[in-house]
Structure 1
């Protein structure tokens, strides 16, 4: 029996795949649990159309990520933070701090969960951060931590 998967099924396939299964497995397990639908001509055409739309959207997201990466790589983010008597920062600089400074200084919105700092930032200086904008695309940019003289 041919079925179109409506969600990922372990050891069978991913969402949107058209797979051949045993008659009983398809009728008694996959279809009642809304994990698959029968692969008739109408459902096949719909699945192919959905797949084309998904591929087009993925290509658009990748193009947007490439453009954003080109902009982010040109940026240098400057942070002014208070420093203790020993020259260390009060706490460490996190990806959230870098993301907020990036938005404030440039207007480029990058999710804080996609920004990674290579080193723990506890001292003033220059550091490199990586923004993972897409599974295949990442952009490196500089983060400069300065002392705030207030």
Structure 2
């Protein structure tokens, strides 16, 4: 299906471009979300009439997103989760958890604006992209730890994802003198003359 984009969509095209997309993507996402129009003569004329308004609205949203991005860029978010000794989480940290954490910190971010390739399943510092607008993206650091104390240690640079190993110092055994080793061996042998 050919559609006319009403805003810039990453990996698809710029505002005003006519692109070919799969029917399901157009019917289930682009058209209901108001991100595109079906490409036909009537809609093309409509787009040309409303182009100035659409560009003004896009510029307004971009300016607003850049204001939020200036405050949000480089922020660190602490997520406290239960984890095993190896640092593997018993659950995971998803886009919803990150969006809720940012909301609690005073930033209004929708979960579809948080971009994770896969859920976070280990403790440690994780860089996460937040796309506030198709043209505005920021990075935040998600600090996943078992406690506030651990989160502070991780932020200071300590690696807590590896299990703690007990270090035992073994003293080297004193080598047996030649005479002691042979004496023990002869004591354990049977004397044939006595039998």
TM-score by structure 1 length? Answer: 0.63
Report the Cα offset of residue 14 of structure 1.
2.8
The residue that corresponds to 1:81 in the other structure is: 81
The residue that corresponds to 1:14 in the other structure is: 4
Query: Residues 126 and 143 of structure 1 are in contact (CA less than 8 Å); yes or no, is this contact kept in structure 2?
Result: yes
CA RMSD between the two structures = 3.1
Q: How many residues align?
A: 116
Change (3 A) 1:102 1:15: closer
> Which runs of structure 2 are paired with 1:1-150 in the superposition (5 Å)?
10=2, 14=4, 36-37=41-42, 48=49, 50-105=50-105, 107-117=106-116, 120-148=119-147
Q: Secondary structure at the match of 1:122?
A: strand
For structure 2, the residue ranges without an aligned partner over 5 or more in a row are: 7-15, 17-39, 149-195
For structure 1, the residue ranges without an aligned partner over 5 or more in a row are: 1-8, 18-34, 38-42
TM-score by structure 2 length? Answer: 0.50
Q: Secondary structure at the match of 2:127?
A: strand
Q: What CA distance in whole angstroms lies between the structure 2 residues aligned with 1:51 and 1:97?
A: 37
Change (3 A) 1:54 1:85: same
